[in-house]
Amino acid sequence: MTLQQLKYMIEVVNCGSINEAAKRLYITQPSLSSAVKELEAEIGVELFIRTSKGITLSVDGAEFLGYARQVVEQAGLLEQRYLNKKPSRQLCSISTQHYAFAVNAFVNLIKNSGADEYEFTLRETRTHEIIEDVKNLRSEIGILYRNSFNRKVLDKLLRENRLDFHPLFTAQPHIFISTQNPLAGRKAVTLADLEDYPCLSFEQGEFNSFYYSEEILSTVFHKKSIHVSDRATLFNLLIGLNGYTISTGIVSADLNGDNITAVPLQVDESIQVGWIANHQIRLSNQASAYLQELRSVLEEYGLQLQE
């Protein structure tokens, strides 16, 4: 087993493809495939499951990856200390539902990394894809919510994929609306108040189950519904159509401007936001640093964090 083989394996996981990893490593695809197979043969473990749809980590591969990343990180520190090599290129991938605070923390992570070279990835994406990203270690951390409606289904899915949910905070539901919306001055609103306004939500593609919805109360009927795929479009429609969406109530003026406001929604429900990770994997230094930045951002909003 060589350090180079471990680096090869990590790159395949990061890319999710042997072909793409070979391009990044500047070696041929057959050479990379051979190196991975030699590593598997040496340790007697099938690290990857190969199908016609591509390559994914096996259960044993996920466990091995955690050790491999630690070894590569420690080797890099030794090289910096004793061989005067420059720090290795920093890597970090995060998948998240559409939360401005997750982006704020990502910005702070990059600003405070001090790295000369880095390759950080932030995926604002669908709920199912967040789980798949973390399951296959395409991302180290996923950020999503659960509540009384989706908790059983979500927890079962996470358990089946060997993922753990770590609560960050619990929020009371709010609506996001334009500051020009007639409801903007209210101390609180009800579902009845919202009946004539367009309800905006993030579409979930082929996994369009109520349990995967990014917004609570997904089973409630709306006379006017609009589904979008990105946060910028959603906020533009909130302003242009006097629509609303349901979320945590945390609005970032830095990212969303001053023309969006949050108003409490009077419903007997709460939103618990947390992060998920593979319970077999030790987080990288960059992923741990991201969680610290995330907690700092949330504390700035005055939230009571959960351990």
Q: How far from 163 is each of 11, 98, 146, CA to CA, in Å?
A: 22, 20, 14
What percentage of the chain carries pLDDT values higher than 90? 58
**Above 70 in pLDDT, residue 85?**
no
**Above 80 in pLDDT, residue 163?**
yes
The whole-number average pLDDT for the span 83-88 is: 63
**Above 80 in pLDDT, residue 91?**
no
Q: How far from 300 is each of 65, 231, 286, CA to CA, in Å?
A: 35, 22, 21
**Above 70 in pLDDT, residue 98?**
yes
Helix (H) or strand (E) run with residue 271 in it: strand 271-278
Domains of the chain: 1-88 (1.10.10.10), 170-272 (3.40.190.10)
Q: What are phi and psi of 216, to 5 degrees?
A: -70, 170
Report the pLDDT value the prediction gives residue 60, as an integer from 0 to 100. Answer: 86
**Above 80 in pLDDT, residue 217?**
yes
pLDDT digits (tens, 9 = 90+) for 129-143: 999 899 888 889 999
In sequence order, which residues have a C-beta less than 8 Å from that of residue 139 and are 6 or more positions away? 93, 94, 95, 121, 123, 130, 133
Beta strand 271-278 pairing with 163-171:
antiparallel
Could you tell me which residue, 54 or 174, shows the higher pLDDT? 174
Instruction: Give the residue from 125, 20, 11 showing the smallest Cα distance to 69.
Output: 11
The whole-number average pLDDT for the span 177-188 is: 94
**Token reading at 268:** 């007997």
**Above 90 in pLDDT, residue 248?**
yes
